[in-house]
Structure 1
Amino acid sequence: MSDASEEGAGEHVGDASTPPDATGATAHTDEDDLEELRKRVEEKYDFENFGAADMAEMSPEEWDVAFDPDTWITGDDLLERVEKELKARVADREVFATLEYAEVEGRRSLVAYSDTDYAIVYPNGTVEGRGTVVRDVKPTVALCSMDSYDVEEPPENWQLPDPGELPEEQSELGNWMLQLLAFSQLIIGLVAIGIWIYQGLGSQLVLGVAGMILIVISFLLFLMVANARLSDRFRTEEYESRLRSIGSGSRPSFLPIDDEAFETTRTDRSQLEE
């Protein structure tokens, strides 16, 4: 290097406009800002109950500080943690899905699917699919990738129930209470109108109006009971239909995976869960 070059380099290092510790100060400032953002994220989000709504609300910067890539769990360990967590959520009826392992794009992956939707969890934490199953699975994968998150142990019989295992009738205590209240309102209303008629239609008009109001209320209560029973029956029948569909012995046709890629030969629910 020439003398002129060395002289120029020496002038650049000693330039007052670039303090010797400028780089260190900038790095220190960035580290402080990162730590402050991390604290705000920890205060803003409840990671014990982290869900899809929280994921949608998170900014990219918040995501980076909340889920440090250097500490993420990946590979088979991640799949096993996700499998346990999803089994526990299925057992609690928070997720409606069946779980299986399959070879997808040359990688052993966890597949969760229902009668209408599916999600594929790859070993690197990527999630693909559609519908509500994806929205249920994505937050689970994010949490299970964190070493600090304690995965819930699923019960032995975690799987969805068979349609025949569903109770024939739900508790009728609430409906019976409403019917009793409606019946009492109806009797009081009829008695009030009877007294009003007996005393003469021109007198005690308030008594007659109150009686009619009570009768109207009683009919509304009876209507609520009837509607509740019809709604419960409809939801039960719909749930049974979904269970029969997912446990019919064949996988849904919308799954973008060949049956040969699955580790389990699916002939019925009992064999699948063994």
Structure 2
Amino acid sequence: MSDSSDERSRPAEPSDTPDADSEDVEALRRQVEEKYDFDNFGPADMADMTAEEWDVAFDPDTWITGDELLDRVDRDLRNRVATRDVFARIERHTDPPRVLAYSDEGYALVYPDGSIEGEGTVLRDVKPTVALASMDSYDVPETVPDNPLPEPEAVPEGGGELGNRMLQVIAGAQLLAGLGLILGGVLSVANVIGGPGVNVVFLFVGGLAFIAIALVLFFTVANARLSDTFRAEEYRERLRAIGLEDGERPDFVPELEPQRSGDGEETE
């Protein structure tokens, strides 16, 4: 075996300078704080973290656990759902204590010691929240809605109606301009208006160009409205799938009894 292989396989000798080790840890901690934005810490950041970076960023001796951790996770998740960063229904259970988050694409169960189990996209979204909520330096919103998800029938068709109306006005102006140019060309050919210096070809080409632009704008408005309708209906179906109408969870979510729903009512 070569000397380099011996060096790699030999256990590291304990350091004789604890102060130096402490300085190295502090230096690594500063690098981690500069590298990651913990106010917007997400699954991608968690995947990029090395074991050493994780150890210095999340000191086990200062982790928040127990009911306080679950309360913080509950509030932070509800805030993320309200701001549309996460799509999930959140339930805070007290017997035994835990937080359940689930959607139509997965679920996550958070326990007082910070452990998590689950599957799907919800598990991916909840992991960074638990990691951050366990840090005392992370500020969790104090006031959050009890029911951050809307009822299916309360979902609007779309929120861009003002923009659509502006495009319609512009398209209407373009259409009128185009029709006016074509009409001017026709009258010029009929010698009703204009004279020898009138460029009839320009009038017809310009009119057709304005009409084409108007048609494109009208098509854009129609497509946007149709897309908004489809997106709204898809969102309603996802809300129905997680039981906002009938109170039934998806089949893959484990049974938890007794439970407290997002409305604060005891259910079986």
Q: How big is each residue's C-alpha offset from its partner over 1:212-248, in whole Å with a ceiling of 9 and x where there is no partner?
A: 2211111111111011111111111111222222222
Q: Which runs of 5+ in 2 are unaligned?
A: 1-13, 191-197
In structure 1, the residue matched to 2:111 is 122
Amino acid at match of 1:142: A
Amino acid at match of 2:107: Y
Q: Is 1:178 matched up with 2:167? A: yes
Deviation of 1:67 (Å): 0.9
Deviation of 1:123 (Å): 2.2
Alpha-carbon contact 1:81-1:144 (below 8 Å) kept: yes
Deviation of 1:94 (Å): 2.7
Q: Is 1:231 matched up with 2:227? A: yes
Q: Secondary structure of the residue that 1:112 maps to in structure 2?
A: strand
Q: Secondary structure of the residue that 1:111 maps to in structure 2?
A: strand
> Which structure's residues are more often helix, by fraction?
1
CA RMSD of superposed structures (Å) = 2.9
Q: How far apart are the structure 1 equivalents of 2:239 and 2:147?
A: 14
Alpha-carbon contact 2:79-2:145 (below 8 Å) kept: no
Pairing 1:96-115 to 2, within 5 Å after superposition: 96-101=87-92, 108-115=97-104
Deviation of 1:141 (Å): 0.5
C-alpha change, 1:156 and 1:182, in structure 2 (3 Å) is: closer
Q: Is 1:165 matched up with 2:149? A: no
Larger-gyration structure (1/2): 1
Q: How far apart are the structure 2 equivalents of 1:114 and 1:53?
A: 20
In structure 1, the residue matched to 2:201 is 205
Q: How far apart are the structure 1 equivalents of 2:184 and 2:37?
A: 61
Q: Secondary structure of the residue that 2:259 maps to in structure 1?
A: coil
C-alpha change, 1:59 and 1:205, in structure 2 (3 Å) is: farther
Amino acid at match of 1:159: P
In structure 2, the residue matched to 1:262 is 257
Q: Is 1:69 matched up with 2:74? A: no
Q: How far apart are the structure 2 equivalents of 1:101 and 1:252?
A: 17
Amino acid at match of 2:247: G
Q: How far apart are the structure 2 equivalents of 1:236 and 1:119?
A: 26
Sequence identity (%): 52
C-alpha change, 1:271 and 1:164, in structure 2 (3 Å) is: farther
- Identify which of 14, 23, 32 aligns with 2:23: 32
C-alpha change, 1:112 and 1:42, in structure 2 (3 Å) is: same
- Identify which of 91, 111, 120 aligns with 2:82: 91
C-alpha change, 1:132 and 1:212, in structure 2 (3 Å) is: same
Q: How far apart are the structure 2 equivalents of 1:139 and 1:223?
A: 42
Amino acid at match of 1:24: D
Q: Secondary structure of the residue that 1:160 maps to in structure 2?
A: coil
Normalising by structure 2, report the TM-score: 0.80
Q: How far apart are the structure 2 equivalents of 1:211 and 1:172?
A: 28
Number of residue pairs aligned between Structure 1 and Structure 2? 245
Alpha-carbon contact 1:85-1:154 (below 8 Å) kept: no
Q: How far apart are the structure 2 equivalents of 1:102 and 1:232?
A: 36
* Worse-superposed segment, 166-175 or 38-47: 166-175
Deviation of 1:90 (Å): 2.4
Q: How far apart are the structure 1 equivalents of 2:127 and 2:265?
A: 27
Q: How far apart are the structure 2 equivalents of 1:165 and 1:191?
A: 44
Q: Is 1:133 matched up with 2:122? A: yes
